[in-house]
Amino acid sequence: MRRMLYKIITFFLLAVGTVAGAVVLFLLSAFLLSSFPVRSSFAQAPHAEEPVEIFVTSNGVHTDIVVPVATPYTDWREKVPLHHFANADSSYTHLSFGWGDREFYMKTPSWSDLTPGVALRAALWPTPTAMHVEYIASRLTPTKRQLPVLLTPEQYRQLVLYIDASFQKENGGYRHITGSGYTGQDTFYEAHGKFYILKNCNNWVNGGLKAAGVKAALWAPLPFAVMRHLR
């Protein structure tokens, strides 16, 4: 009996130690690899180039890219039409884009709805993804969690191509997930790619910054890794 109990305790401690070690390794890797910037020579577009202002936002866990609804280079209402959003109208000036685990998005409108099963599945197993799109009524106020970035027209075009490529398409439009969304200003679309802890929402935002030629982290699985090079 004692021998069996010893084996159980040993196995339990080994499992806990393995998980703790993996977490420490992940956090250490995130800190170290995010310290190395790409596009370190990036300088925000001068006003003479008629820059496009975007924002990168963070809630402490998840990051998003916020862009103007319409510019001379693209009008997002042609791709994410207002009739997909119950309470948004043509006066709304900005759009927020986020990429993430489809089930996590659908089942966790707030953090209080998060279950261990959904969290573990999203973190450890490659899962289907969705794009979260939200209409925003007016320009964001710059804060440490809402950072503006000025892009040249060409940089903005590259960002548009990156975001557009993340959506699954059907009959010339994005594949809308009918009846989805938390409020009348947001909804979800089917996305390309698989989500897991090493390729998550923050990596997607960081990838968009890289595509636009913005100074970004080499690897950015956590929000601070995305935001640190924009401040």
Give the integer Cα–Cα distance in Å for 156 and 204.
16
Q: What is the pLDDT of residues 73-94, one digit of tens each?
A: 999 999 999 999 999 999 999 9
Residue 126's Cβ-side half-sphere holds a number of Cα atoms within 13 Å equal to: 4
pLDDT greater than 70 at residue 211: yes
Model pLDDT, residue 86: 94
Average pLDDT over residues 15-40: 53
Residue with the bigger pLDDT between 18 and 152: it is 152
Q: What is the mean pLDDT of residues 100-110?
A: 82
Q: H/E element holding 118?
A: helix 116-124
Predicted model pTM: 0.83
Nearest to residue 28, comparing CAs of 225, 210, 227, 226?
Answer: 225
